[in-house]
Structure 1
């Protein structure tokens, strides 16, 4: 069972939040707390991340099954990037569990970029020789701005280890950047919310999205890139709240 962080709210349809690659439930704490003003919110650590169990597989069918195991009733589901793909697979495979779907800056397509760079950077950190996060950050200096700080949220300084199953994530990278060939259509309301400065959801992906999610609506947050919830949290929160309302 996935590790969950629950934010109590008024009675209503709960919102389940699935984070992206290398993330965790804690990354969503501020937004989850704000959204819990109107409903219960459940943020999860995906498998091989955070405090959730480690497995040898990181296929989207498995990630979607993990989400289904957390749900004791139909819920609204929000997923970013990797979590967005898992949320889409859940909606396609078990549509009765998903009332409304929000997919943040990702499409049901295979991407060509890999995330092997951050994985190799984390592997190079001398965990036994560091005494602070500052030491670890100095060893991640070749990464793009902001990436080191993001990764360090998954560093357990007490145990001197990453809260990420790096070996499996590397071995399963083709599955993570891909999207499975699965049948199914989700007929419920769906919002595909992108960063206006991101290139993750291209116009040519929209027909494929509409085929799988015929009620899909599209919106962009000005000034935001792929990490739209971190770069423009207030605008992101407002867009999600308006859709759920």
Structure 2
């Protein structure tokens, strides 16, 4: 059995954090440290085909959910709090509905249980246009990415995935081929019958269009106890753009009985 890679910080109730598409657990290191300091055992998990976790040709939310069960069993975790951002939010929603007895609380960051059309193709195309010569060093990779993407934040996010594959070349940790072949499934909705009856918080960025007022009804249908809060002065990357506001909303929810 293959077990997901993770960085574990702190002691206390288990809190499992899942990154988004093309991300990795390390993206959440600063938040993990703060949560660990408040009394949680924080697991920064790399999902399959991401980070240091295993690669596999199969990629679906059903399998991502099974990966989490295997991870929990491997680490003797009976029940955990789950936090997921974007694609990771989709994963934890599926998990909570499939295994409500293993989910103590659920936090979903800037994603709803509805369908989202594929919208990462330009990133995939840009990454696939890179050649080995573009990846000789981090600075060369940044220059190559700058020809594809104007956004400095996006380039920094992608560069976080680089590692030295050989003495002369770098490579990305994500499995680009498999992820590019499965773009359609990233935005899949929950089925009409799936429901998690436990405490749930949906956090949205003030400037983000991923979770809008029209989504509240479908959120409540699947998560009847859901609270919905807005992190001010932030878009889809709410945890990075307003980390203090994100932490405040998160900790207030975690402190609720």
1:78–1:102: 8 Å Cα contact kept in structure 2? yes
Aligned position for 2:162: 155
User: Does residue 1:76 correspond to 2:81, yes or no?
Assistant: yes
Q: Compute the displacement of 1:132 (Å).
A: 1.6
Farther-moved stretch of structure 1 (65-74 vs 31-40):
65-74
Matches within 5 A, 1:42-121: 42-71=43-72, 72-121=77-126
Which structure 2 segments of 5+ residues have no match? none
Q: Compute the displacement of 1:183 (Å).
A: 3.2
User: Does residue 1:215 correspond to 2:225, yes or no?
Assistant: yes
The SS at the match of 1:79 is strand
The CA distance in 2 between the partners of 1:67 and 1:119, in whole Å, is 26
1:7 to 9, 19, 25: 9
User: Does residue 1:19 correspond to 2:19, yes or no?
Assistant: yes
Q: Compute the displacement of 1:130 (Å).
A: 3.4
The CA distance in 2 between the partners of 1:84 and 1:144, in whole Å, is 27
Q: How many pairs does the alignment contain?
A: 243
2:118–2:186: 8 Å Cα contact kept in structure 1? no
RMSD: 1.3
2:134–2:144: 8 Å Cα contact kept in structure 1? no
The SS at the match of 1:214 is coil
2:127 to 116, 122, 127: 122
- With over 3 angstroms needed to count, the CA separation of the structure-2 counterparts of 1:158 and 1:76, relative to structure 1, is same
Q: Compute the displacement of 1:176 (Å).
A: 0.6
Which structure 1 segments of 5+ residues have no match? none
Structure 2 length-normalised TM? 0.91
The SS at the match of 1:50 is coil
1:194–1:219: 8 Å Cα contact kept in structure 2? yes
1:114–1:177: 8 Å Cα contact kept in structure 2? no
- With over 3 angstroms needed to count, the CA separation of the structure-2 counterparts of 1:158 and 1:123, relative to structure 1, is same
Aligned position for 1:35: 35
1:169 to 168, 176, 179: 179
Q: Compute the displacement of 1:234 (Å).
A: 1.4
The SS at the match of 1:26 is helix
The CA distance in 2 between the partners of 1:158 and 1:57, in whole Å, is 24
The CA distance in 2 between the partners of 1:172 and 1:182, in whole Å, is 22
Q: Compute the displacement of 1:174 (Å).
A: 0.3
Matches within 5 A, 1:122-201: 122-141=127-146, 142-145=148-151, 146-159=153-166, 160-181=170-191, 183-201=193-211
2:207–2:234: 8 Å Cα contact kept in structure 1? yes
Structure 1 length-normalised TM? 0.95
Q: Compute the displacement of 1:180 (Å).
A: 4.5
